[in-house]
Amino acid sequence: MEITEKEKDLLLYQIKKRYGYDFTNYAEASIKRRIIRFCEIHHFKQYFDLKHDLMNDSGLFADFVLQITVNVTEMFRDASFFHSTKENVFPNLATYTHCKIWHAGCSTGEEVYSMAIMLKESKLLKTMVYATDINPEVLNQAREATYSMKQMKEYTTNYIKAGGSASFSDYYTAHYNMAILNSTLKKNIVFSQHNLVSDGSFNEFNLIVCRNVLIYFNKELQEHVLNLFYESLAPLGYLALGSKESLLFSSLNTKFEVVDKNEKIYRKIE
C-alpha cells in the first residue's frame, strides 16, 4: 500500500487529535516508511481502512505506536560511549552528594541497565536514573528486565569493551532461554512514560542521555527537544547524544562545551 503526503499528514493530525500522540514533526521519510510497514504487517490495502481502524481500535493503535517509535537497542550499545562516560563524566558526578540522570527514549531498557552497571562499578550508588519513553509497552518490557539468552554473548563482549570491571554473568540469572537481570540493578531506576514532543521538564539532572532519537525528528522538533534538555540540565550538567547527532547546527551550540567529540558528549557551560 502506498500513502500520499496529504494522507500521511491527515492521518497524523487525526491521531494527535484522537490520542494526543504528536508524530507530525517526525522526519518525513522515516515516518512514512514506518506507516507503510505497519500497513504491510496488518494487511491494509486502503487508506480509508487504515484510518478508520486506527481511530476506533485502541489496541491496534497501541501496536501502531510500537511500530512507529524506534526501539533498536542493546546492552552497552556503542561500547566506546560507555567507556568515555565512565572516564570523562563519572569522576565529576562523584563530587556530588546525590546525582540524577535522565535516560530519554529508553526503549526496552538495555542501555539503562548498562548505565546502572557502570554506576555500580564506579561506586556512584547515590545516583537516581529516570528512564522515560513515549511507549508504555516497551516500558513494561524494561521493568521486567528479562532478555534473551542468545544476546548475552554479544552483550558480554560489549561490556568488556566498555571497560566493565567484573564478570558480566554476575549481573543476570539464566532461566531456560531467558536472562533475568539482578533486581538490585532496578533499585535506583524509575521508569515512566514521557513524550519529548509534548511533555515538559520534570526535574533537574546532572546527566541527560538521549542517543539515536533525534535523528528521527525534523529540525524544528530537534531544536524543541534540545531546549527541553537544556532547561532540564543542572549547571555544568552533561548531555549525551547519538553518534549521528550533534549540537553543531543548534542555537544552543555556544551554551555547551565539547567533552568528547566522537561520542557526542557535551557539558552545559551557561
Same domain, 166 and 92: yes
In the predicted model, is pLDDT for residue 11 greater than 90? yes
Domain assignment of residue 74, yes or no = no
Domain assignment of residue 141, yes or no = yes
Same domain, 23 and 91: no
Same domain, 194 and 217: yes
For residue 134, give its domain range: 79-268
Same domain, 137 and 56: no
Dihedral over Cα of 18, 19, 21, 27: its sign: negative
Q: What is the spatial distance between Cα 27 and Cα 162, in angstroms, rounded to a whole number?
A: 31
161-214 confidence digits (pLDDT tens): 999 999 999 999 999 999 999 999 999 999 999 999 999 999 999 999 999 999
Question: Residue 94 maps to which CATH number?
Answer: 3.40.50.150
Domain assignment of residue 26, yes or no = yes
Domain assignment of residue 182, yes or no = yes
In the predicted model, is pLDDT for residue 70 greater than 80? no
- Predicted local confidence at residue 26, as pLDDT: 87
Same domain, 178 and 257: yes
**Side-chain-side CA neighbours of residue 218 (13 Å):** 10
Domain assignment of residue 73, yes or no = no
In the predicted model, is pLDDT for residue 72 greater than 80? no
Same domain, 227 and 200: yes
Same domain, 111 and 224: yes
Same domain, 112 and 19: no
Count of structural domains, the chain: 2
Same domain, 167 and 244: yes
Domain assignment of residue 43, yes or no = yes
Domain assignment of residue 212, yes or no = yes
Among the residue ranges 4-8, 112-116, 181-185, the one predicted with the least confidence is 4-8
In the predicted model, is pLDDT for residue 38 greater than 80? yes
Same domain, 181 and 240: yes
Q: What is the spatial distance between Cα 224 and Cα 208, in angstroms, rounded to a whole number?
A: 15
- Specify whether the CB–CB gap between 227 and 37 falls below 8 A: no
The residue out of 68, 96, 113 marking a domain boundary is: 68
The residue out of 40, 68, 96 marking a domain boundary is: 68
Domain assignment of residue 83, yes or no = yes
Dihedral over Cα of 185, 188, 192, 196: its sign: negative
Same domain, 122 and 22: no
Nearest to 199 by CA among 104, 68, 118: 104
Same domain, 51 and 93: no
Nearest to 264 by CA among 195, 203, 208: 208
